[in-house]
Amino acid sequence: QVQLVQSAAEVKKPGASVKVSCEASGFTFTNYYMHWVRQAPGQGLEWMTMLSPSRDGGGTTSARKFRHRVTLTSDTSTNTVYMELSSLTYEDTAVYFCAREVEGFDVWGQGTMVTVSS
Amino acid sequence: QAGLTQPPSVSKDLGQTATLTCTGDSNNVGYQGVAWLQQHQGHPPKLLSNRQNGRPSEISDRFSASRSGNSASLTITGLQTEDEADYYCSAWDNSLSVWVLGGGTKLTVL
């Protein structure tokens, strides 16, 4: 069964970092573009960053506003992609989704709520 | 970074047809088309139509997508109560080298 399973909700203080995991099953993530999209409470979807497949070099591309704060890593042994966001502010409170791309975001994780609170 | 433009809300009666629009430019919508997503409250988005206007097998044929130039549309026929959701368009922007999303349209089925 093709699915993405994300890590549990997190509560972080301003200035801290958060690392969210996204474990793929039913497919190998290195063969696909893997994306992260977030959604603040009551707001729309916001694209953050993506990891290219191995055939395209396996690099990362990020939206300008996240370029200096987001880091993508991965573990091929567990078929897992990680997204770390640093220097958190209250505005980073959101649900973070990972998604697979095949001409569109065709498989989504269940989402991870990250709350930034002092 | 500029996103795609969608009307914030659309209301239609049960059984009617709704057409949702998405406007961009030649670097995104006009470049490789858009993919449409549906999101029900409290759930992850679901892909309705990809950039080739292809529909996943599990998606009803009541949903159809099209594109003309720098604008795209999603048509939903025979509206049902379960179609009430938020709909987003998304596209790769070849100039910015990022994915861009519309602000979403909230569809209300009366």
User: A70-87, pLDDT tens digit by residue?
Assistant: 999 999 999 999 999 999
Among A38, A45, A101, A108, the strongest candidate for a mutation testing the B interface, having the largest count of B CBs within 10 A, is: A45
Q: Write the CA distances from B20 to A48, B17, B107, integer angstroms.
A: 25, 10, 9
CA distance B58 to A70: 34
- pLDDT for residue B1 is more than 60: no
- pLDDT for residue B2 is more than 80: no
Rounded to an integer, the average pLDDT of A34-53 is: 97
CA distance A85 to A102: 25
Q: Which of B102, B104, B110, B109 is nearest to B2 (CA)?
A: B102
Rounded to an integer, the average pLDDT of A31-56 is: 97
Rounded to an integer, the average pLDDT of B4-16 is: 97
Shortest CA gap A34–chain B (Å): 12
Q: Does A35 touch chain B (CB under 8 A)?
A: yes
- Go through A89-98 and write b for each residue having 16 or more CB atoms within 10 A of its CB, e for each that does not: eeebbbbbbb
Task: Please give the pLDDT value at position B3.
Answer: 85
A38: nearest CA partner in chain B: B44
Segment holding A107, helix H or strand E = strand A105-108
Quick one: DSSP state of residue A63?
-
Q: Is B42 exposed, middle or buried (0-12, 13-18, 19+ CB in 10 A)?
A: exposed
Mean pLDDT of chain B: 95
Tens digits of per-residue pLDDT, B43-93? 999 999 999 989 999 999 999 999 999 999 999 999 999 999 999 999 999
